[in-house]
């Protein structure tokens, strides 16, 4: 399948969609407190997207081949949940960590981003895992430029995460995005420098490493969506949507309260 090279009009629309997705996370940040349910988080985000932004929540009723429609507007993955957690009656408690994954559609274009949140004061282990995952995402992002390779991104993420004694989930990856929610290329979060697709200016894709405190093995729950660590260890994920430019990259999922990058 050919890789989409976006024109200036596409890129303009993707900047708008990306900012809007990030603004949903800005909106919900002060509301992530002990005793809120993931269902309530979903409801608040849904109302903000549809009523305030005029966007469409892309996950709602999303149904790739072989899946039942996803029943909610966002994904909430708590503690040992890796990704695709379905919001529900679960009450968040002090010490929990939760990934909130937002994808909005605006004028036919998708903006996709996620952040980790601490519920109250996290454990030292949880805080470190979330920081290492955030760092690994940024090390991957900084490999992006025209002429680089997808393997460069995956290697940067994998080598850093594994140097901290964590593991990288293999079954899920970043993806091309634009008018289509999940498009080519697949952006693996592990790999070898110089391997894979050569990047060209105008490509847009997500980088969204899923890093486990324990082993990399996963398990899919009976709802056929929620993915957890097989050994029940904590997992963390961060995600940005990235544009490849001639000189490097542009992060499209940026808003007023987007966390700033940091390096060791």
For the cut 80, the answer to whether the pLDDT of residue 262 exceeds it is no
Q: What's the pLDDT score for residue 242?
A: 98
Compute the CA torsion angle 53, 29, 240, 47 (nearest 10 deg): -30
DSSP state of 30: G
77: left (phi over 0), alpha (psi -120 to 50) or beta: beta
205, containing H or E segment: strand 204-207
Q: What's the pLDDT score for residue 260?
A: 87
Q: What's the pLDDT score for residue 264?
A: 55
Residue whose entry in the numeric block shows the structure tokens 């379905």:
86
pLDDT in tens, 91-144: 999 999 999 999 999 999 999 999 999 999 999 999 999 999 999 999 999 999
Mean of per-residue pLDDT scores for the chain: 97
φ/ψ (deg, to 5) at 126:
-65, -40
Sheet arrangement for strand 249-251? 183-187, 174-176, 204-207, 240-244, 249-251
For the cut 90, the answer to whether the pLDDT of residue 61 exceeds it is yes
Exposed e or buried b for every residue in 9-29, given b needs 16+ CB within 10 A?
Answer: ebbebbbbbbbbbbbbbebbe
Q: What is the mean pLDDT of residues 54-61?
A: 98
Contact of 144 with 196, CB cutoff 8 Å: no
CA max distance for the chain: 48
Q: What's the pLDDT score for residue 24?
A: 98
Domains of the chain: 8-251 (3.90.230.10)
Q: What's the pLDDT score for residue 72?
A: 98
For the cut 90, the answer to whether the pLDDT of residue 21 exceeds it is yes
Confidence of residue 263 (pLDDT cuts 50, 70, 90): low
Q: What's the pLDDT score for residue 67?
A: 87
Contact of 115 with 19, CB cutoff 8 Å: no
Cα distance between residue 202 and residue 243, in whole Å: 6
For the cut 70, the answer to whether the pLDDT of residue 1 exceeds it is no
Q: Which of 52, 79, 88, 103 is nearest to 252 (CA)?
A: 103
């Amino acid at each position: 399948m050919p890789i989409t090279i976006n024109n200036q009009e596409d890129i303009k629309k993707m900047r708008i969609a990306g900012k809007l997705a990030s603004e949903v996370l800005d909106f919900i940040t002060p509301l992530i407190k002990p005793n809120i349910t993931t269902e309530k988080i979903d409801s608040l985000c849904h109302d903000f997207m549809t009523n305030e932004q005029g966007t469409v929540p892309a996950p709602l009723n999303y149904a790739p081949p072989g899946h039942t429609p996803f029943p909610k507007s966002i994904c909430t993955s708590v503690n040992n949940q890796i990704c695709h957690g379905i919001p529900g009656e679960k009450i968040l408690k002090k010490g929990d960590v939760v990934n909130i994954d937002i994808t909005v559609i605006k004028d036919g274009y998708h903006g996709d981003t996620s952040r980790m949140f601490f519920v109250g004061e996290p454990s030292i282990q949880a805080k470190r895992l979330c920081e290492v995952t955030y760092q690994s995402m940024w090390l991957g992002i900084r490999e992006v430029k025209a002429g680089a390779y997808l393997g460069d991104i995956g290697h940067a993420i994998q080598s850093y995460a594994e140097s901290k004694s964590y593991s990288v989930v293999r079954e899920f990856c970043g993806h091309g995005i634009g008018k289509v929610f999940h498009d080519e290329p697949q952006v693996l979060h592990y790999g070898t420098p110089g391997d894979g697709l050569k990047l060209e200016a105008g490509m847009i894709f997500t980088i969204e490493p899923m890093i486990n405190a324990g082993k990399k093995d996963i398990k899919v729950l009976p709802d056929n969506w929620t993915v957890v660590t097989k050994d029940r260890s904590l997992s963390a994920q961060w995600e940005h949507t990235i544009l490849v430019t001639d000189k490097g990259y542009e992060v499209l999922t940026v808003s007023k309260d987007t966390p700033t990058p940091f390096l060791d």
